[in-house]
Structure 1
Amino acid sequence: MIQPRPQILYSCYFAASREGEQFVSEHILSYQLAGAIVTNDGDNAQTFGEGSLRLHKRNRLVKFSKQLPAQGQFKSVSVTLDQEALRRFSLEYGYHAEKHPAGAAIVELPLTPFYKSYFDSLQPYEQLAEPGNEALLALKVHEAIMLLLKSNPELKDVLFDFAEPGKLDLEAFMNRNFHFNVQLRRFAYLTGRSLATFKRDFEKIFHLPPSRWLQQRRLQEAHYLIKEKGKAPSEAYLEVGFEDLSHFSFAFKKMYGVAPSRI
């Protein structure tokens, strides 16, 4: 069974910098306590350092690299603004989205005294992820929504847009997002299609099954990064969406006749 994401989540480690990518299924308000995080949504690269505040929009793909400070730990705290909580808030206070803003997947917010006080108040909640504390956590999520609307009222159209992704230009979307390592069903959802329709539309456009096209496109991009940009294979394979270096090297040699390390 898939466990729900905690409403308030502290991220804290000191072993090494971390890279990865994720599909952001809910809006997330994050405050950077120490260290930095570099993000890329395919169109925008952003860096958020210590003391920065950001809102991750739902239904977006994001690559990230968490950077440790020179001394100490990487620390952040995140509040998930789930759809259920936002719908309840919308019904209680009469908020509705009037347009569907696009823009970057992550919005940087000014750290006002209100926001700072709010995140300081979350410190005692670090231990409240246990069963029985749901009501207290729900109050803090409700408070975060109220604070966002007071400090950044323009976010109303982001927070209360409950529409599912509409049918997008599949060719443009895939050429922009092929390097995200997500399942085909996720690509289908984000382009406003069922998995069966996604596969059918995909083959009409690209004349290849999605999995084969994705591998070829990722290998082409890796070849470019290694040959033209001087990237090491150990960097390139992650950047283009491969999970495993050995699988990447095997597929690369099969396509180009030479190991990526020999380019």
Structure 2
Amino acid sequence: MTTQDVRAIANRSNANERTATRTFASSTAIDTGSWRERARWMTASWTRARAYATEDGKSGEEGADVASEEGEEIEGEENDEIAKLRGELEEKDAAVADLKDRILRTMAEMENLRERTRRQAEDAKKFAVQGFCKDLLDVADNLDRAISTVPEEEIETDVEKIKAKLKSFREGVVLTEKQLSSTFNKHGVAKFNPEGEEFDANLHMALFNVPIPEGSDAKAGTVAAVTKTGYTLHERVIRAAEVGVYQ
């Protein structure tokens, strides 16, 4: 190898070394710039984050205060509403208790009224004829007087005295019968005698048939004889007349 070859190799080696040095320096400069830019960006980001955190902290505290105030206000409204509902419930309970008391009192009054009405109905049924019986007492008194006019020990004595007493007795009986009829009429009781009238099954009870006499104007189906008069109470038949009917 000649001296020129050695020099050429040395020159190429130096050139390569310089090229590598420049490349490394350039690469190092680029990396250093990128790191600095990145550091500046991170610093700015951290500063902004800190500022945001501070602002968020203040906003959080203010929001917490507002939320606390709103919570207290809502809680107060809820307490007022609960108190109002509790008052209304107490009023309703009082109204229900009053209504229950009224119902119980009404039921008791109805039961008392039912019992009182039952007793009154029984008394009315038992004493319905009290006035009628009281009016008949005068009739009974007159019958006693009529009987007393003819003492039993004087029946077979003087005929003239007996006639006089019988006359008085008859007058007393007639008077008693009139008084009895008046009492009947007063209470709506009426006597009827259907002799000569057309037979009516609603008013009469036929006990026997009577043949029509020759030359008589009587018609078949009319009442020929009355064995027991009939009575009505306010126009309702309480006893049909017992009769014989022309056949």
User: Normalized against structure 2, the TM-score is what?
Assistant: 0.21
The structure that has the greater radius of gyration is 2
Q: Going by fraction, where is strand more abundant, 1 or 2?
A: 1
User: Normalized against structure 1, the TM-score is what?
Assistant: 0.20
Q: Going by fraction, where is helix more abundant, 1 or 2?
A: 2
